[in-house]
Amino acid sequence: MSDTRNAITAAVERAGVVAVIRIKDPSRLRAVVDALAEGGLTALEVTMTVPGAVQLIADLAPTMPGGFLLGAGTVTDAATVKRVVDAGARFVVCPVFRRTLIEACHARDVAVMPGCLSPTEILDAWEAGADIVKVFPATAMGPGYIKDVRGPLPQVKLMPTGGVTLDNAGEWIRAGAVAVGVGTALTDANAIAAGDYAQLRANAEKIVANVRAAQASAS
């Protein structure tokens, strides 16, 4: 792993939470990001399902606070890897495992987190060079699945996404996840529609507190 990718991966582990941004109204993205950052989050991914996602990343990247990690999510092909990295993404998250995506990210010296579910997929992705393996969809699996997978595969860094809530985020960390990916639990659609960014900030504060407590107990 290069020094750059190693630093990005370490920063994601310290953050413990990656906010997954899937909003329908891109004009609200800046306010959403600011609220989450004010709540203590330091890593987020803008998914390619957000209209104009690449340009939004380009607009956000130069204006983020120092130490903040901006990434791209729902990336499924090498051409999009190039576009999001050129726009300023420092890590790439994929819903699936494809070796070509790992190769494309490493060629640009950015960390990559491919989506896997079975132990076979997880180990294949790790051996192919995944910096962190996104366990997806984790909704039906529960924190016990992370613990079970890490039993025979303790070397693999796992980030469950799906099924992570403000209240149970710490359970995933205590089970062995290095971070959690969290979408709707943080970015409540009703709060965004109402312009209630204080609620988003409160959501961020709550999940960060839970993750910090879990990290402290695991250290």
Annotate 140-155 with DSSP letters as a single string: TT-HHHHHHHHTT-TT
Residues ≥6 apart with Cβ < 8 Å to 86 = none
- Is-catalytic flag, 45? yes
Cβ atoms of residues 178 and 198 within 8 Å: no
Marked catalytic residue, from 45, 157, 171, 206: 45
The residues that bridge with 181 in the sheet, in sequence order, are 18, 161
- Is-catalytic flag, 171? no
Marked catalytic residue, from 134, 157, 171, 206: 134
Radius of gyration of the chain from Cα atoms? 16
The residues that bridge with 71 in the sheet, in sequence order, are 45, 91
> Which stretches does DSSP call E strand in 115-204?
115-116, 133-135, 158-160, 180-182
Report d(CA 55, CA 74) in Å as an integer: 15
Catalytic residues: 45, 134
